[in-house]
Structure 1
Amino acid sequence: MSEWKAFTVEIADNVAQVTLIGPGKGNAMGPDFWRELPEVFAELDADPQVRAVVITGSGKHFSFGLDLAATAGTLAPVLVEDAKAAPRTEFLKEVRRMQASVTALAECTKPVIAAVSGWCIGGGLDLIAAADIRLASADAKFSLREAKVAIVADIGSLQRLPGIIGEGNLRELAFTAKDIDAARAERMGLVNEVFADQEAVLAAAHAMAREIAGNPPLVVQGIKDVLEQRTSPAIADGLRYVSTWNAAFLPSKDLPEAIAAVFEKRAPQFKGE
C-alpha cells in the first residue's frame, strides 16, 4: 500500500483497516483527506487479498467533519457579493470532486464497516452513510451539523440517509442540526449495534469483517453490486442536484456569519440574506 497523510491502512486476515488520522484536530477533513480517500479505496478495491474493510478514526473521535480553516479557500470565491459564473463553476467542480471522494467508498466492491467512537459530525456522517454497515461505541455522538453553519449538506448525507434512517428522522436531523447519542442512533437505524467502548466496537467491526471475508468473495461483491443498483442512480441524481443548488444559492450573508461565529465561539446572528 501507498503511504498517506490523512490515513493509515493495515491489512490482516483479508480485512483492511482504514484509520483517519487528520492532520486536523478530531480527524477533521482537509485537502489531504479529499484527495487521498478515493486513492485509498481504489487500492483496496484492486487488492485481491482484501475482502472487507473497517474504517475508523484515530484518537477519541471518528471525525469533526469538514476542516473549515483548511478549506476556506474553496468558499472564498463564491462569498464575494455578485459572484459571477467563473467562481461559481469552480466551486461546483470542487463540490463534485468532494462528492466523488465519498462515493469512492460507496462504490468499493468490498463491504465497508464503519466503527464510530466519539464525535461524528457533518462530513463524518457523510462518510459513514456511504459505508455498508455502521457500528458505534456508547460514547459516540452524531450530528448533521451543516444547517448550523449555513450550508445545505452536499456530500451525500441527504441522499444516502433516507434509505438508512427514514425520511422523518433525516428531516429532523437536517433541519435542527441537533446532536444525537449512540442510543438514539441505534433506535433510528443509523447504527446496527452499540458497544461499550472504542476498543469493543473496533473488535466487533473486525469480527464482522472476518465473518464477511470468510464467504465467497465474488458472491459478496455481487450482493453489494445488486444492492447498490437499487439506490445508486437516485443518489447520483441527488448529488448533482444539490451541488448545482449550492453553486447557485449557497452564497449568503449568513454563511460568513456562521463561519465567523464558529471561530469566535459565539452564537451566530442569522438574517436570511
Structure 2
Amino acid sequence: MSEWKAFSVEVADGVARVTLTGPGKGNAMGPDFWQELPEIFAELDGDASVRSVVLTGAGKHFSFGLDLAAMAGTLAPVLADDAKAAPRTEFLREIRRMQASVTALAECSKPVIAAISGWCIGGGLDLIAAADIRLASADAKFSLREAKVAIVADIGSLHRLPGIIGEGNLRELAFTAKDIDAARAERMGLVNEVFEDQEAVLAAAHAMAREIADNPPLVVQGIKDVLEHRTSPAVTDGLRYVSTWNAAFLPSKDLTEAITAVFQKRAPEFKGE
C-alpha cells in the first residue's frame, strides 16, 4: 500500500483496516482526506488479497467531520458578496469531487464495516452512511450537524440514510442537528450493534470482517454489486441535485456567521440572510 497523510492502512489475513488519522483534531476531514480516500479504496478494490474492510478512527473519536479551518479556502471565493458564475462553478466541482470521494467507499466491491467510537459528526456520518455495516461502542455519539452551521448536507447522508434509518428519523436528525447516543442509534438502525468500548467494537468489526472474508469472494462482491444497483441511481441523482442547489444557494450571511462563530467560540445568530 502507499503512504498516506490522513489515513493508515493495514492488510492482514484478507481484512484491510483503514484508520482515519487527521491530521485535524478528532480526525477532521481536510484536503488530504478528500484526496486520499478514493485512492485508498481504489487500491483495496484492486487488491485480490483483500476481501473485506474495517473502517475506524484513530484516538477516542471517529471523526469531528469537515475540517473548517483547513477547508476555508474552498468556501472563501463563493462566500464573496460578488461571487458570480466562475466561483460558483468551481465550488460545484469541489462539492462533486468530495461526493465522489465518499462514493468510492460505497462503490468498493469489498464490504466495508465501520467501527465507530466517540464523536461521529457531519462528514463522519456521510462516511459511515456509505459503509455496508456500522458497529458502535457505547460512548459513540452521532450528529447530522450541518444545519447548525448553515449548510445543507451534501456528501451523502440525506440520500443514503433513508434506507438505513427511515425518513422520519433522518428528518429529525437533519432538521434539528441534534446529537444522539449509541443506544438511540441502535434503536433507529443506524448501527447494527453496540459494544462496551472501543476495543470491543474493533474486535467485533474484525471478527465480522473475517467471517465475510471466509465466504466466496466473488459471490460476496456480487451481492454488494446487486445491492448497490438497487440504490445507487437514486443516490447519484440526489447528489447531483444537492450539489447544484448548494452551488446556487449555500453562500449566505448565515453561513459566514456560522463559520465566524465557530472560530470565535460563541453561539451563532442566524437571521435568514
Q: TM-score scaled by structure 2?
A: 1.00
**Paired residue type of 1:272:** G
Partner of 1:174: 174
Is 1:136 the counterpart of 2:136? The answer is yes
What percentage of aligned pairs have identical amino acids? 89
Gaps of 5+ in 1: none
CA distance in 2 between counterparts of 1:207 and 1:140 reads 20
Note the 1:62-73 alignment, pairs <5 A: 62-73=62-73
State the partner residue of 1:41: 41
In structure 2, the partner of 1:226 is 226
For 1:254, the equivalent position in structure 2 comes to 254
| Structure 2 counterparts to residues 1-273 of structure 1, below 5 A | 1-273=1-273
Residue 92 of structure 2 aligns to which amino acid in structure 1?
L
Runs of 4+ in 1 over 6 A off after TM superposition: none
> 2: CA distance between counterparts of 1:126 and 1:82?
31
Write the distance in 2 (CA, Å) between the matches of 1:229 and 1:136. Answer: 27
Q: Which amino acid aligns with 2:222?
A: G
Residue 264 (structure 1) shift:
1.1
Structure 2, unpaired ranges of 5+: none
CA positional deviation for 1:262:
1.0
Letter in 2 for 1:228: E
Tell me the SS of whatever aligns to 2:269.
Answer: coil
Q: Counterpart of 2:133 in structure 1: which amino acid? A: I
Structure 2 distance, partners of 1:247, 1:79, is 11
**Alpha-carbon separation, structure 1, partners of 2:135 and 2:263:** 31
TM-score by length of 1: 1.00
CA distance in 2, matches of 1:187, 1:261: 33
What's the offset of the Cα at 1:82? 3.3
Q: Give secondary structure in 2 for the equivalent of 1:225.
A: helix
Residue 263 of structure 1, CA deviation: 1.3
Inter-partner Cα distance in structure 1 for 2:201 and 2:148: 29
Provide, for residues 12-46 of structure 1, a one-character-per-residue CA deviation record: whole Å limited to 9, x for no partner. 11000000000000000000000000000000000
Q: Hey, what's the Cα distance between the residues in 2 that align with 1:192 and 1:27?
A: 23
CA deviations over 1:66-104 (Å, ceiling 9, x no partner): 000000011101111131000000000000000000000
- Deviation of 1:146 after TM superposition, in Å, equals 0.3
Distance 1:39 1:68 in 2: 22
1: CA distance between counterparts of 2:40 and 2:210?
A: 20
Structure 2 distance, partners of 1:264, 1:167, is 35
Shift of 1:265: 1.3
RMSD over aligned CA atoms reads: 0.4
Query: Aligned AA for 1:94?
Result: E
Q: Which amino acid in structure 2 is aligned with residue 36 of structure 1?
A: E
SS in 1 for 2:173: helix
Deviations 1:106-126 (A, max 9, x none): 000000000000000000000
CA displacement 1:170-194 (0-9 Å, x = unmatched): 0000000000000000000000000
Distance of 2:5 and 2:158 partners within structure 1? 28
| SS of residue matched to 1:56 | strand
